[in-house]
Structure 1
Amino acid sequence: MKLFSTALITLTIATIGFTAASADEVTKPVAGTFSGASEHITTGGVQIVKTADGGAVVILDSNFSLDGAPDPRVGFGKDGVYAEAADLGELQNLTGVQVYIVPASVNVDDFNEVYIWCLEFGVPLGVAQIS
């Protein structure tokens, strides 16, 4: 998986309102690659970037793609279980780069998976193990 450059991550974080002023304030991202689930095709990579101020963002990479489904969401899970309380919101697009701000109430260290989740049917559409 192609990782984003530190400059792009810093620019993305600055653009969405975090106070990161330099690459030194961004921790090394954790990353994963999506695999499809529930007979859906989900591909591409994901990164979770934490900043020195305690904030975090989830970035779906330019190769991200979902074949479509009703009410797709982005969120976290652990060991094969989606965590509804860690829902980050609606999937913005079926393809391409997307950025999701992780609310302060969600500790990304508590999870080892990023999900694309179908809220309507309660099934995973894609899962990425993160490390």
Structure 2
Amino acid sequence: MKSLFALTLTAIIAFGPVSAAYADTSGTFTGASDHVTKGGVTITKNADGTATVTFDQSFSLDGAPDPRVGFGKDGSFVSVADLGALKNLNGAQSYVVPASLNIDDYNELYIWCLEFAVPLGVAQLN
């Protein structure tokens, strides 16, 4: 019978360290299009293939019509990566990213004004 250590070591060699598979990504919002957007965001990959986008308590947006939350890449909002309406103009909140959306394809998180098609805030993800 193999020891627990041998089984654990075999699992790490075969699958890699568990913590690396679910490393968090984070960023800090800056305003855009003459809007004030502040606060931090963390994105956590979940074991079921989904991810969770979490705004910290310091998040704030000065207001705008139809603000949305979504991903972008290299300075452009990607409409298929829209996570839905911004829940609150201030404070902590979270959004579920479906497993069908590969967050590794994006390097920015946007607060996007759907009505005027302009960014309200952008967080570079690292």
The TM-score bracket by the shorter chain reads: 0.7 to 0.9
Runs of 4+ in 1 over 3 A off after TM superposition: none
Letter of the 2:51 counterpart:
A
Q: 1:76-123 CA deviation, whole Å, 9 max, x = no partner? A: 000000000000000000001111000222110000000000000000
Alignment of 1:14-25 (within 5 A): none
What is the count of residue pairs matched by the alignment?
109
Asked if 1:47 corresponds to 2:42, the answer is: yes
Letter of the 2:82 counterpart:
D
Normalised TM-score (structure 2):
0.82
5+ residue gaps, structure 1 = 1-23
Paired with 1:53 and 1:69, the residues of 2 have a C-alpha distance of: 34
SS in 2 for 1:33: strand
- Which of structures 1 and 2 has the bigger CA Rg? 2
5+ residue gaps, structure 2 = 1-18
Normalised TM-score (structure 1):
0.79
Letter of the 1:51 counterpart:
N
Root-mean-square deviation (Å): 1.7
Letter of the 2:52 counterpart:
V
Paired with 1:70 and 1:54, the residues of 2 have a C-alpha distance of: 32
How much does 1:55 deviate? Answer: 1.4
Percent identity (aligned): 64
Alignment of 1:57-96 (within 5 A): 57-96=52-91
